[in-house]
Chains A and B, each alone.
Chain A
Amino acid sequence: MAPQTRKAAIVGGNRIPFARSNSAYAQASNQDMLTATLDGLVARFGLQGQRVGEVVAGAVLKHARDFNLTREAVLGSRLSAATPAYDVQQACGTGLEAAVLVANKIALGQIESGIAGGVDTTSDAPLAIHDEMRRVLIALGSARTVQQRLAALAGVRPGMFVPEAPRNAEPRTGLSMGEHQAITARQWEISREAQDELTVRSHHDLAAAYERGFFDDLVTPYLGLTRDENLRPDTSVEKLAKLKPVFGAGDPDATMTAGNSTPLTDGASAVLLASDEWAASRGLPVLAHLVDAQTAAVDYVHGGEGLLMAPAYAVPVLLARNGLTLQDFDYYEIHEAFASTVLATLKAWADPAFCKERLGLDAPLGSIDRSRLNVNGSSLAAGHPFAATGGRIVASLAKQLHEAGPGKRGLISVCAAGGQGVVAILES
């Protein structure tokens, strides 16, 4: 029997303001932030003591002790302790992928409601002991005689006491994400001015959204922060022009600065999804439905593609399956890992050669109406706690679509480390 499917509803969301690394949330763990975020969602939708179908969330930077992070957060929250949970991790795509997973189970009728989320801290980051030291300690632990113990300890060298911090670098290339993106920016000839302009718009639009109360039912303050710490409402192209490039080592024409790249950030987000019936029976709104989603990956190691270009590949597949063109959307949410990521992706979709040779399309996808892009600001202004970005975007876009009226459509595109991308369609 083929199961009947239905579209999962997005009821609403909650996140804590995003903090700059080693700042307001320096002492908060992933579990603390995710728990607080779930509790804010519980308060908003009156879910105290209730069992939702499943809570799915994850973190990119994770301590070994957090193997069951989401379940532990659920147990510490005001949700029913009988709420099942599991962790996922798909780098910066984690939050969106979690929402897709929850939506799919709802679509299949396996659950009636679920919460998708994500959290990351670059402040309370895990430090690993040196790999050689780890081997020594394991050998020590399994030693049975004094001689064996001494032999194991004899292997200790001073250098082994230096802990290993997590690196924002690709294991297979050794290049940081910024260095990878600098290559893409140069290939696609993304100008410094265009990147700074996109950055300024992100800050101004996010600030305006806060001013008009757009985030009143999307954000709950945490540890003294009431707005995203990275937000600079008064920034300008002139101010950004003064910054020195930080990526593109050795390139005299490097364009990527600390301003037009997202900073390291701490934060968490959560989205409540449900069947229409579940929402209606509780008097809860349906802001939008998650229509469809697609992932893609590119070979950035040997294949000559940019590390963060996978969404450019995922979107045409998603469009074709849904019989849509790139222009059939009222709003676009393209995650601003770097301003140049957004601009390179848009340029690729409009480029006949790229669309033909790389995407195998007869005609380019074309350009989009830029006034519909990231209308309430995005990661450049809000910051980007890796796994939390997907939930931020899903909840904000769903609300934006709901405000615009029924039948409005939005496209989400999130790039991720490892050459991956997650994209999705929401419709009100």
Chain B
Amino acid sequence: MSDWYRDLANSGVGSTLVKQLGLPRPAVLRRYEPGAPLLTGPAVVGTTGGSRLHEILIRLLEDAGVPVQPPAATDGERLGAVLLDATGVTGPADLSAAQEFLTPAVRRLGPSGRVLVLADPPSDAGSPAQAAARQALEGLVRSIAKELRNGATANLLVVPAGAEASVPGPVRFFLSGRSAYVDGQVVALTTADVPADEDEERPLAGRVAVVTGAARGIGAAIARVLSRDGAHVVAVDVPAAGDELAEVVNEIGGTAFQLDITAPDAAQRLIAHLRERRGGVDVVVHNAGITRDKLLVNMDAARWHAVMAVNLQAQLDLTQALLDAEGVLRPGARVVCVSSQSGIAGNRGQTNYAASKAGVIGMVRAWAPAFAERGATINAVAPGFIVTEMTARMPFGTREIGSRINSLQQGGLPVDVAETIAWLAQPSAAGVNGQVVRVCGQSFLGA
């Protein structure tokens, strides 16, 4: 589905017109293509005095073939990325170094450029002043994200001491086109056993991934991206969607498993299937979800129950059953749960849906420590306004407003959600656990 307004704003006459009228100018976002360079221009890397991660960042950029310019350079080509190692700040005074570095650097940032700040966690700061400075970086990054234009994004990685090995995978994600619609986000890393090297073209080679709700929309995009990244996808959807499911599966070379995930024996059937056909599973994506919208005053039990059963209870039951089934969830397993912006911000007419999607966030956070103990992770992805068949049916005005009220001034695509999920499924994302990553272009809702 095309974004007519974005296309207009990027056309010859249209570009002049929207500029004259002072209208928003959504950019064509840089999206990941296998084999594409990590960045489209050189990077600069700054520090705020401490430099715990500086060397890791330089090495990562060099390995990726990205030219690294000295921070002081003030001219030359547009930058692909601006990285700031802000670890080691001790108080607000240290933040001036951040401003001094970022102001000229961000001025030179090119289209779909990246600002990525790495910081210490405020929670384990040694003093209130240090906690204040660390927390301040969050406000700084979120504001940069709102100021950036031309498809550029700004995000913050929180790196506790000892979690240095967890840094490269997430940094690569935030610099790459995979994170096109992830903006203004804060992701906290943890200490984990991160595999030394992975095939960046096919990071999921040899892995088995289950995707629920895979017959269409975001689920189909997830199946495609996981398959592109090398996974064998066991695509699950309700039997009534089996024909569309078969089409997706035959396109990507996976297998179709028709299953109503709310059936009492659903978990046992899925586990038996995985055991027999695949010998286990590495990646589980709980994507299946439904809406049954009604204002709370008009809500009925059937609508409430249907949404809860699919969106929340099935995720709980399937995950628990997979944890209990010996040998099915393989070491280093990844569970990614699809939440929603509605679960964070709430949404009129969606008490049931928002409750279920907020519940997913609670579930992910509660389970994270247990997953970490098994060398596994569980995370949530919360899509914002994503252009699907469902949004295509919305009234024009609602759709246009819904798609523009974010820093990137456009709706995301199903593939943007899929790329984020595929990243969380990667071996190198081992240090990302219990996180909620919004794929919303820094939506103004619930921010």
Contacts and interface: CB of A to CB of B under 8 A. Distances in A.
Do A and B form a real pair? Answer: yes
A226 interface: yes
B219 to A, nearest CB: 15
Interface stretch (B56-64, B241-249, B377-385, B400-408): B241-249
A43 B239 contact: no
A45 B241 CA distance: 17
Interface stretch (B99-107, B152-160, B172-180, B256-264): B256-264
Nearest to A283: B277
Interface in A368-392: none
Contacts of A43: 245-247, 249-250, 255-256
A36 B244 CA distance: 11
Given A220-B258, A283-B276, A49 B253 contact: yes
Nearest to B248: A43
Interface string A67-97: 0000000000010000000000000000000
A44 B242 CA distance: 10
Chain A interface secondary structure, helix, strand, loop or mixed? loop
Nearest to B235: A43
Interface in B232-283: 232, 239-243, 245-247, 249-250, 253-260, 263, 265, 269, 276-279
A14 B313 CA distance: 30
A213 B263 CA distance: 9
A49 B251 CA distance: 10
A78 B254 CA distance: 12
Interface in A35-75: 36, 39-40, 42-46, 48-49
Interface residues of B, number: 26
A36 B243 contact: yes
A215 interface: yes
A226 B244 CA distance: 12
A87 to B, nearest CB: 24
A221 B253 contact: no
Among A40, A42, A78, chain B packs the most CB atoms within 10 A around the CB of A40
A226 B258 CA distance: 12
A219 interface: yes
B243 A216 contact: no
Contact of B258 (A36, A39, A217, A284): A217
A405 to B, nearest CB: 14
A185 B177 CA distance: 72
Contact of A219 (B242, B247, B250, B276): B242
Question: What class of interface size applies to chain A in its complex with B?
Answer: 20 to 34
A247 interface: no
Contacts of B258: 216-217, 220
A349 interface: no
A155 interface: no
A222 interface: yes
Interface in A13-40: 36, 39-40
Contacts of A39: 246-247, 250
Contacts of B259: 213, 216
Contacts of A219: 239, 242
A221 B240 contact: yes
Contacts of B278: 283
A285 B187 CA distance: 43
Contacts of A217: 257-258
A48 B239 contact: no
Contacts of B239: 213, 215-216, 219, 221, 226
Given A48-B250, A221-B240, A285 B276 contact: yes
Nearest to A226: B240
A242 to B, nearest CB: 32
A221 B250 contact: no
B292 to A, nearest CB: 20
A36 B245 CA distance: 12
A99 B410 CA distance: 55
Contacts of A226: 239-240, 242
Contacts of B243: 36, 40, 220-222
Contacts of A222: 243
A97 B260 CA distance: 34
Given A48-B250, A48-B253, A49-B253, A40 B263 contact: no
A248 to B, nearest CB: 40
Contacts of B277: 283-285
Contacts of B246: 39-40, 42-44, 220
Contacts of B256: 40, 43-44, 220
Contacts of B279: 283
Given A213-B260, A284-B277, A285-B276, A46 B242 contact: no
B260 to A, nearest CB: 7
B241 A221 contact: yes
A44 B241 CA distance: 13
A56 to B, nearest CB: 21
Contacts of A42: 246, 250
Contact of B242 (A45, A48, A221, A285): A221
Nearest to B279: A283
A49 B246 CA distance: 14
A43 B258 CA distance: 10
Interface in A131-177: none
A221 B243 CA distance: 5
Contacts of A44: 246, 255-257
25 contacts: A39-B247, A40-B243, A40-B256, A43-B245, A43-B246, A43-B250, A43-B255, A46-B232, A46-B253, A46-B255, A48-B249, A48-B253, A78-B250, A216-B259, A216-B260, A217-B258, A220-B246, A221-B239, A221-B243, A226-B239, A226-B240, A226-B242, A283-B276, A283-B279, A285-B276
Interface of A: 36, 39-40, 42-46, 48-49, 78, 213, 215-217, 219-222, 226, 283-285
Top 6 closest pairs, chain A to chain B, by CB: A43-B246, A43-B256, A43-B249, A46-B255, A220-B242, A226-B240
Given A40-B246, A43-B246, A219-B242, 12 more contacts: A43-B249, A44-B256, A44-B257, A49-B253, A213-B263, A216-B259, A219-B239, A221-B241, A221-B242, A226-B242, A283-B276, A284-B277
